[in-house]
Every structure is written in C-alpha cells, then in structure tokens.
Structure 1
Amino acid sequence: MEFHKIARSGQIPDGVVRRFFAGDVEVALSRQDGEIHATSNYCSHLDCLLSSGKVTDEGLLCSCHGSVFDYASGEPLCPPATRPIVIFPVREEDGHIHVGIDEELAAAAAKRRASGARRLTPG
C-alpha cells in the first residue's frame, strides 16, 4: 500500500469535512475530536458528495438524505444507505495528512451507481 500526502493538517480543522484527490481517487477527509478520517467521497445511497456533509459525534453525515456512516468501518448507521463506504488508512505526520491507497481500495472507491440509473432515456 502506498501512502499519498494529500493535505496539510491545518486544512482539516475539527468538525470539518473536505474533498481531496490522491491521483484519480477522490477522498473525503474529516476530523472529529482531533482524529482524522479518510473515506471515499461518494455516499453509497445515491452518490452524493460526502465532502458536502457534516461531521457528527456518531459519524459522517451525508447532506443529501441524512445517512450517517461509521468513521471506523464505513457501515451506515442509519438509512437510507444500506451499503458501507470505503475507509482508507490515514496517518498524520509532520503537519501533513497521508492516505493509504492500493488498487483494491482505489477500485472500491471508484464504484458508483450505474451512470444510467438516473438518466432519462429519450422516447
């Protein structure tokens, strides 16, 4: 697994979630009670951006429909989401945030609902 330096520690204050990239992989970084968390940036329910969500005591709240995801496991703690989000290993060293990504995690984070699922077809 390769760790990528994707942010400065000061860019993620407590209670904040923001979007960053590690190559082609989109990552939502959040900090709750001083601890940094790295997840995929798309909600498993309808692909809403988790970086637009909120940090709560329970987990990461998706702003679209209110699902909350556990910081450690990625499991949904309340509906409507029923599938977990991807959790990346993360470490904070020398004022920088490093996220661990391998091929398996990158592929899992890239999986989103089928693009045609919400597309209207003509005719």
Structure 2
Amino acid sequence: MSLETQLVKICSISDLPRNSAKGFQVGELALALFNVDGHVYATSDICSHEDEYLSDGWMEGDCIECPRHGARFSLKTGAALSLPATKAIDTFAVERKGEDIFVAIPLKFLQQQGA
C-alpha cells in the first residue's frame, strides 16, 4: 500500500466552527473534519461497523460517537473505543495555513479510475 499523499485544501477554519464536525467528499474519500476546541482532526467519515456518516455523530472531547449504533472512535488515533465497532477508522494529517485547513490525502483516493 502506498503511503504517498497530497496536501489538499479542504476548507477555511470559518467553515468549521469550534466544537463542530463537517463531512466532505475528496476524490473517492468520504472525509470528516472535527474542530475540538480549536484543534482540527481529520478521519474517514464512514463508521467501520456500518456505513454511517460519523460527521453526523456526537463529539465528546477527542472522541466521536456514531449516530447509528453508538460505536465510539478516537479522533487522534482512529481506534475503535467501544462495541459494536472493532476496527479502527483512518486518520489523516492536518495542516493549518493561515485560515485554510489542508489534509494529507492518500493518492489512492485522488487518482482517477481508468486514467
């Protein structure tokens, strides 16, 4: 598996108010950004237990709870913290440049199919 990434501008910090979450589609990746007291985390937006958008879930500290069955994940590591989820979610490096939020997106999500 390639670890190559590309830094992609996702949004401005003003688009992601403090203590909120928002989902984005970046190429083939469903991405979620979480602003926890001014610190931005990026994860896959899809619960590893069942296809549900985590950005629609409930944030508590640096954890997100899936809105469907209550599985909890660490926003820092992606680790599954409670059942029914047993598999971690992907996390991605975040860089803030001025007011802009950039995320290191693996190239496999950005490459066009059949190109």
Provide the TM-score with structure 1 as the length reference. 0.79
- What is the rounded CA distance, in whole Å, between the counterparts of 1:78 and 1:15 in structure 2? 22
1:41 is the counterpart of 2:9: no
Q: Which contiguous aligned blocks of 4+ residues in structure 1 show a shift greater than 3 angstroms? A: none
When residues 8 and 85 of structure 1 are mapped into structure 2, their CA distance, relative to the original with a 3 A threshold, is: same
SS in 1 for 2:81: strand
SS in 2 for 1:20: strand
Q: Paired residue for 2:64?
A: 60
Q: CA deviation at 1:60?
A: 1.2
- What is the rounded CA distance, in whole Å, between the counterparts of 1:80 and 1:59 in structure 2? 15
Asked whether the equivalents of residues 6 and 107 of structure 2 are also in contact (C-alpha less than 8 Å), the reply is: no
Compare CA radii of gyration and give the structure with the larger one: 1
Segments of 5+ residues of structure 2 without an aligned counterpart are: 111-115
Structure 1 or 2: more strand by fraction? 2
Provide the TM-score with structure 2 as the length reference. 0.84
Query: Between the two proteins, what is the percent identity of the paired residues?
Result: 32
CA-based RMSD of the aligned residues comes to 1.6
Higher relative CO (CA 8 A, sep ≥ 6), structure 1 or 2?
2
Segments of 5+ residues of structure 1 without an aligned counterpart are: 108-123
Structure 1 or 2: more helix by fraction? 1
Among candidates 52, 55, 64, match of residue 51 of structure 1: 55
